Structure 1
Amino acid sequence: MGQPSFSTEKIKPPRRLLNARQAAARAGYSESRFRVLARAGVLPAPIRLGLRKVMWDSDKLDRYIAERAAFFDNGGVQ
Protein backbone atom coordinates (compact mmCIF):
# COMPACT_ATOMS: atom_id res chain seq x y z
CA MET A 1 0.00 0.00 0.00
CA GLY A 2 1.30 3.38 -1.00
CA GLN A 3 0.98 6.73 0.62
CA PRO A 4 -2.38 8.46 0.12
CA SER A 5 -2.07 11.38 -2.24
CA PHE A 6 -3.48 14.71 -1.19
CA SER A 7 -3.96 17.61 -3.52
CA THR A 8 -2.72 21.03 -2.49
CA GLU A 9 -5.28 22.73 -4.72
CA LYS A 10 -7.83 24.93 -3.03
CA ILE A 11 -11.13 23.09 -2.67
CA LYS A 12 -14.04 25.18 -3.89
CA PRO A 13 -17.38 24.74 -2.13
CA PRO A 14 -20.12 23.37 -4.37
CA ARG A 15 -22.30 25.81 -6.25
CA ARG A 16 -25.63 26.33 -4.51
CA LEU A 17 -28.78 28.35 -4.80
CA LEU A 18 -29.35 30.56 -1.76
CA ASN A 19 -32.57 32.12 -0.57
CA ALA A 20 -32.61 35.80 0.44
CA ARG A 21 -31.83 35.11 4.09
CA GLN A 22 -28.87 32.86 3.28
CA ALA A 23 -27.56 35.19 0.57
CA ALA A 24 -27.86 38.24 2.82
CA ALA A 25 -25.97 36.50 5.61
CA ARG A 26 -23.25 35.41 3.17
CA ALA A 27 -22.88 38.97 1.83
CA GLY A 28 -22.93 40.52 5.32
CA TYR A 29 -26.15 42.50 4.94
CA SER A 30 -29.44 42.42 6.77
CA GLU A 31 -32.15 40.73 4.75
CA SER A 32 -34.01 44.00 4.18
CA ARG A 33 -30.86 45.84 3.03
CA PHE A 34 -30.01 42.89 0.77
CA ARG A 35 -33.44 43.10 -0.88
CA VAL A 36 -33.06 46.88 -1.40
CA LEU A 37 -29.67 46.36 -3.07
CA ALA A 38 -31.06 43.52 -5.19
CA ARG A 39 -33.94 45.69 -6.44
CA ALA A 40 -31.48 48.50 -7.21
CA GLY A 41 -29.42 46.15 -9.37
CA VAL A 42 -26.32 46.39 -7.17
CA LEU A 43 -26.23 42.66 -6.45
CA PRO A 44 -26.10 39.81 -8.97
CA ALA A 45 -29.50 39.15 -10.49
CA PRO A 46 -31.53 36.47 -8.74
CA ILE A 47 -32.86 33.36 -10.43
CA ARG A 48 -36.66 33.28 -10.45
CA LEU A 49 -37.99 29.81 -9.68
CA GLY A 50 -41.64 30.74 -9.41
CA LEU A 51 -44.00 33.64 -8.82
CA ARG A 52 -42.81 34.16 -5.25
CA LYS A 53 -39.52 32.26 -5.19
CA VAL A 54 -36.17 33.81 -6.09
CA MET A 55 -32.73 32.41 -5.34
CA TRP A 56 -29.17 33.65 -5.77
CA ASP A 57 -26.32 31.69 -7.33
CA SER A 58 -23.62 31.26 -4.67
CA ASP A 59 -20.80 31.55 -7.25
CA LYS A 60 -22.07 34.90 -8.56
CA LEU A 61 -22.62 36.17 -5.03
CA ASP A 62 -19.10 35.10 -4.01
CA ARG A 63 -17.68 36.98 -7.03
CA TYR A 64 -19.63 40.09 -6.00
CA ILE A 65 -18.24 39.81 -2.44
CA ALA A 66 -14.68 39.36 -3.74
CA GLU A 67 -15.03 42.39 -6.05
CA ARG A 68 -16.35 44.54 -3.20
CA ALA A 69 -13.53 43.41 -0.92
CA ALA A 70 -10.95 44.21 -3.61
CA PHE A 71 -12.55 47.64 -4.15
CA PHE A 72 -12.24 48.53 -0.47
CA ASP A 73 -8.78 46.98 -0.17
CA ASN A 74 -7.82 49.41 -2.93
CA GLY A 75 -8.97 52.36 -0.86
CA GLY A 76 -12.34 52.56 -2.57
CA VAL A 77 -10.80 53.33 -5.95
CA GLN A 78 -11.27 51.21 -9.05
Structure 2
Amino acid sequence: MATAELAPRPDVLTVKDLAARLSISTRQVWRLADAGMLPAPLRIGWRTVRWSREAIDQWIAAGCPRNRDRPSRATTPQASAGTTGQPPKRGRRPRKAHEGAERELAAAGF
Protein backbone atom coordinates (compact mmCIF):
# COMPACT_ATOMS: atom_id res chain seq x y z
CA MET A 1 0.00 0.00 0.00
CA ALA A 2 1.55 3.26 -1.09
CA THR A 3 1.40 6.29 1.15
CA ALA A 4 -0.28 9.29 -0.39
CA GLU A 5 1.43 12.67 -0.29
CA LEU A 6 -0.51 15.10 1.85
CA ALA A 7 -1.37 18.22 -0.07
CA PRO A 8 -0.76 21.48 1.82
CA ARG A 9 -3.97 23.00 3.11
CA PRO A 10 -4.64 26.45 1.68
CA ASP A 11 -6.31 27.69 4.89
CA VAL A 12 -3.31 27.19 7.20
CA LEU A 13 0.30 28.43 7.04
CA THR A 14 3.46 26.65 8.13
CA VAL A 15 6.23 28.60 9.81
CA LYS A 16 8.07 28.76 6.48
CA ASP A 17 4.96 30.02 4.68
CA LEU A 18 4.36 32.65 7.35
CA ALA A 19 8.00 33.76 7.28
CA ALA A 20 7.86 34.16 3.50
CA ARG A 21 4.57 36.06 3.74
CA LEU A 22 6.01 38.48 6.31
CA SER A 23 9.47 38.65 4.64
CA ILE A 24 11.24 37.59 7.85
CA SER A 25 13.18 34.53 8.97
CA THR A 26 11.55 31.51 10.57
CA ARG A 27 13.45 32.30 13.77
CA GLN A 28 11.89 35.78 13.83
CA VAL A 29 8.44 34.19 13.42
CA TRP A 30 9.09 32.13 16.57
CA ARG A 31 10.35 35.23 18.41
CA LEU A 32 7.20 37.15 17.51
CA ALA A 33 5.01 34.20 18.51
CA ASP A 34 6.81 33.82 21.86
CA ALA A 35 6.42 37.55 22.53
CA GLY A 36 2.68 37.39 21.82
CA MET A 37 2.98 39.59 18.75
CA LEU A 38 1.34 37.08 16.37
CA PRO A 39 -2.12 35.55 16.49
CA ALA A 40 -2.16 32.34 18.49
CA PRO A 41 -0.99 29.33 16.45
CA LEU A 42 -3.01 26.19 15.93
CA ARG A 43 -1.43 23.16 17.61
CA ILE A 44 -2.15 20.20 15.35
CA GLY A 45 0.11 17.72 17.10
CA TRP A 46 2.87 17.53 19.63
CA ARG A 47 5.37 19.35 17.40
CA THR A 48 3.15 20.54 14.56
CA VAL A 49 2.09 24.18 14.60
CA ARG A 50 0.20 26.11 11.94
CA TRP A 51 -1.32 29.57 11.70
CA SER A 52 -4.75 30.30 10.29
CA ARG A 53 -4.42 32.16 7.00
CA GLU A 54 -7.58 34.11 7.82
CA ALA A 55 -6.29 35.15 11.26
CA ILE A 56 -2.96 36.27 9.76
CA ASP A 57 -4.75 38.26 7.00
CA GLN A 58 -6.94 39.98 9.62
CA TRP A 59 -3.88 40.66 11.79
CA ILE A 60 -2.03 42.26 8.85
CA ALA A 61 -5.13 44.29 7.85
CA ALA A 62 -5.40 45.58 11.43
CA GLY A 63 -1.82 46.85 11.30
CA CYS A 64 -0.15 43.91 13.10
CA PRO A 65 -1.31 44.73 16.64
CA ARG A 66 0.07 42.94 19.66
CA ASN A 67 -2.09 39.96 20.63
CA ARG A 68 -3.36 40.86 24.11
CA ASP A 69 -5.39 37.65 24.58
CA ARG A 70 -2.43 35.72 25.93
CA PRO A 71 0.54 36.88 27.98
CA SER A 72 3.93 36.98 26.38
CA ARG A 73 6.75 34.98 27.80
CA ALA A 74 8.35 38.16 29.16
CA THR A 75 5.29 39.05 31.25
CA THR A 76 4.82 35.73 33.02
CA PRO A 77 5.44 35.76 36.81
CA GLN A 78 8.44 33.44 36.49
CA ALA A 79 10.14 35.68 33.94
CA SER A 80 9.40 38.94 35.74
CA ALA A 81 10.81 37.65 39.04
CA GLY A 82 14.26 39.03 38.21
CA THR A 83 15.15 42.67 38.66
CA THR A 84 16.38 43.13 35.08
CA GLY A 85 13.14 42.10 33.39
CA GLN A 86 15.00 39.31 31.64
CA PRO A 87 13.97 35.69 32.07
CA PRO A 88 16.22 33.76 34.43
CA LYS A 89 19.25 32.19 32.80
CA ARG A 90 19.87 28.49 32.92
CA GLY A 91 22.81 27.04 34.76
CA ARG A 92 24.15 27.60 38.24
CA ARG A 93 22.20 29.82 40.54
CA PRO A 94 24.06 32.96 41.63
CA ARG A 95 25.81 32.70 44.97
CA LYS A 96 24.61 34.85 47.78
CA ALA A 97 27.18 37.25 49.19
CA HIS A 98 27.42 35.48 52.55
CA GLU A 99 27.99 31.99 51.09
CA GLY A 100 31.58 32.72 50.15
CA ALA A 101 32.32 34.21 53.57
CA GLU A 102 30.86 31.16 55.33
CA ARG A 103 33.14 28.86 53.36
CA GLU A 104 36.19 30.95 54.16
CA LEU A 105 35.36 30.98 57.87
CA ALA A 106 34.81 27.21 57.87
CA ALA A 107 38.13 26.65 56.11
CA ALA A 108 39.89 28.86 58.67
CA GLY A 109 38.45 26.79 61.52
CA PHE A 110 35.87 29.22 62.88
TM range (shorter): 0.5 to 0.7
Tell me if 1:36 matches 2:31: yes
Say which structure, 1 or 2, has more relative contact order (CA 8 Å, 6+ apart).
1
1:56 counterpart residue number: 51
TM-score (norm 2): 0.46
* Higher-Rg member (1/2): 2
Q: Runs of at least 4 residues of structure 1 off by over 6 A?
A: none
Q: Which 5+ residue runs of structure 2 have no aligned equivalent?
A: 1-9, 65-110
Distance 2:23 2:38 in 1: 12
Report the Cα distance in structure 2 between the residues aligned to 1:58 and 1:45, rounded to whole angstroms.
12
Task: Work out the CA distance in 2 between the residues paired with 1:25 and 1:64.
Answer: 16
Q: Can you give the 5+ residue segments of structure 1 that lack an aligned partner in the other structure?
A: 1-14, 70-78
* Count of aligned positions: 55
What RMSD over aligned residues (CA atoms) do the two structures have, in Å?
1.5
